[in-house]
Amino acid sequence: MDLTIHVKEDCIMIKKTLAWYLIVAMFIIGIAPRLDAAFAPSEVIGLDTSIRTGDIEKIRTALEHKLVQQRLTDLGYTAEEIGTRLTDLTDQELHTIASKLDSLTVGGDGLGIVIAILVIIILVIVVLQLTGRKVVVTQ
């Protein structure tokens, strides 16, 4: 009997020690700052001058639209200011802006509006059906 009590006490003592160890370990892990690591390029890679000029031309053609010119004028920018700011951009910034211009569509793609209208029509039909009204579509 005395042996089983002693084994139970040892087991409880091991569990308490393990619990305290885990508490301390989790506390240390929790207070350690999170660090991120990544590869850094050893040299700055510049874009080719033909790519830069192509990007500048793409941005200039986008800036020539009447709506864009009107909005920039409303914001207080002159054509000279826009030109100097455009030449002050780095190669990477120019390329980023030019690539984002490719994904822009004037007025959106319209698919979202069509889907929203269809969902509203379906909801109206469901509500009418639930209230006991009949929906008859004839041509």
pTM for the complete prediction?
Answer: 0.42
Residue ranges per structural domain of the chain: 1-32, 50-103
Instruction: Quick: pLDDT tens for 97-139.
Output: 888 887 775 666 677 778 888 888 888 888 888 888 776 778 7
* Rounded distance between C-alpha atoms, residue 40 and residue 48, angstroms: 21
Q: HEC profile for the chain?
A: CHHHHHHHHHHHHHHHHHHHHHHHHHHHHHHCCCCCCCCCCCCCCCCCHHHHHHHHHHHHHHHCCHHHHHHHHHCCCCHHHHHHHHHHCCHHHHHHHHHHHHHCCCCCCCHHHHHHHHHHHHHHHHHHHHCCCCCCCCC
pLDDT for residue 82: 83
- Encoded amino acid at 31, one letter: I
CB 95 within 8 A of CB 55: yes
What's the confidence (pLDDT) of residue 44? 53
In this predicted structure, the answer to whether residue 53 has a pLDDT above a threshold of 80 is yes
Residue range 59-69, pLDDT digits in tens: 888 888 888 88
More confident residue, 135 or 74: 74
pLDDT above 70 for 39: yes
pLDDT > 70: percent of the chain: 85
Q: What is the pLDDT of residue 108?
A: 62
Give the percent of the chain with pLDDT over 90. 2
pLDDT for res 46: 58
* 86 and 60 Cβ atoms separated by less than 8 Å: yes
Residue 72: pLDDT over 60: yes
